[in-house]
């Protein structure tokens, strides 16, 4: 993630220097991006239904539910019964083992867009075995750190969808490489979030404008996580569940330096040394 922070800042600065938007600099073509939300495990199913209702009313195009053994089939059944037509997916965060394959096959009845990272975070082989048993597409997240991982997963048929996170893959250069490798092989991608503040969220928005980001990502509004974001304008999601792409140079959002300073509890200044001789 540290590499991503540095590299993404350089891409951002280059876009500002060139006087073009960051999305245009990386080759983005979309003027709006579709947005989804990730909903965590709640204290009860009725509480979960209330959260989903709120997110759907806000316009989000896809709902992703966190699942784990003991919080899965009944939850998916209740949600799908309540909203039979919504785009629904689930994220297991490696909560299952291959011995759970028969249980995971039950997920096929819920017409899910995908099941994200059901098995081990570093596995391709068992995901390939599981995908052969499932009608539901597997999406790999934590397994994909670079283009080579993406190619291995695709060639082994370990997944049918890939989640790209800028922080996880180390920045725009590798994210674009993963995107291109997936696009060339007919595998759709989407942008995952890592609880970024506005700066990282702006970078995710730019990444999501690439052509093969065809599925709603986890790039939601600032207000969903922050009472006050450190950028202006804050990220807004329309009633149609979309974010409009800004055409101003760089990331399209200004950093509120005074707010960053006010929130800072500790800082260190690193001065470059002048090399002589």
10 Å CB burial of residue 180 (0-12, 13-18, 19+) is middle
* 66 carries an active-site annotation: yes
Handedness of CA 139, 143, 144, 148 (dihedral sign): negative
Kindly name the residue from 24, 64, 66, 68 that is annotated as catalytic: 66
Cα–Cα dist 22/14, whole Å: 8
Kindly name the residue from 3, 68, 160, 165 that is annotated as catalytic: 165
Which residue, among 239, 242, 227, 236, has the nearest Cα to 58 in the 3D structure? 239
* 267 carries an active-site annotation: no
Cα–Cα dist 16/277, whole Å: 34
Determine the distance from the C-alpha atom of residue 240 to the mean position of all C-alpha atoms in its chain, rounded to a whole number: 19
Q: Which residues are the active-site residues?
A: 66, 165
């Amino acid at each position: 993630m540290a590499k991503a922070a540095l590299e993404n800042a350089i891409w951002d600065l280059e876009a500002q220097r060139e006087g073009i938007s960051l999305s245009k600099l990386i080759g983005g073509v979309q003027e709006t991006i579709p947005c989804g939300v990730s909903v965590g495990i709640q204290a009860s199913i009725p509480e979960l239904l209330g959260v989903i209702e709120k997110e759907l009313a806000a316009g989000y195009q896809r709902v992703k539910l966190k699942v784990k053994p003991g919080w899965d089939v009944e939850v998916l059944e209740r949600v799908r019964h309540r909203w039979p037509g919504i785009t629904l997916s689930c994220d297991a965060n490696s909560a299952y083992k291959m011995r759970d394959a028969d249980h995971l096959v039950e997920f096929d009845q819920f017409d899910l867009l995908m099941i994200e990272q059901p098995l081990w975070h570093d596995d391709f082989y068992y995901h390939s075995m599981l995908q052969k048993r499932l009608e539901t597409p597997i999406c790999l997240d934590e397994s994909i750190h670079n283009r080579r991982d993406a190619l291995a997963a695709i060639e082994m048929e370990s997944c049918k969808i890939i989640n790209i996170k800028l922080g996880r893959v180390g920045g725009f250069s590798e994210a674009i490489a993963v995107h291109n490798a997936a696009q060339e092989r007919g595998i759709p991608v989407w942008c995952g979030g890592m609880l970024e503040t506005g700066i990282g969220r702006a970078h995710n928005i730019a990444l999501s404008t690439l052509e093969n980001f065809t599925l709603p990502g986890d790039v939601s509004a600032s207000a969903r996580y922050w009472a006050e974001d450190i950028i202006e304008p804050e990220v807004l999601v329309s009633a149609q569940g979309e974010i409009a792409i800004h055409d101003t140079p760089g990331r399209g959002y200004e950093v509120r330096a005074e707010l960053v300073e006010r929130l800072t509890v500790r800082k260190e200044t690193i001065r470059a040394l002048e090399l002589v001789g």
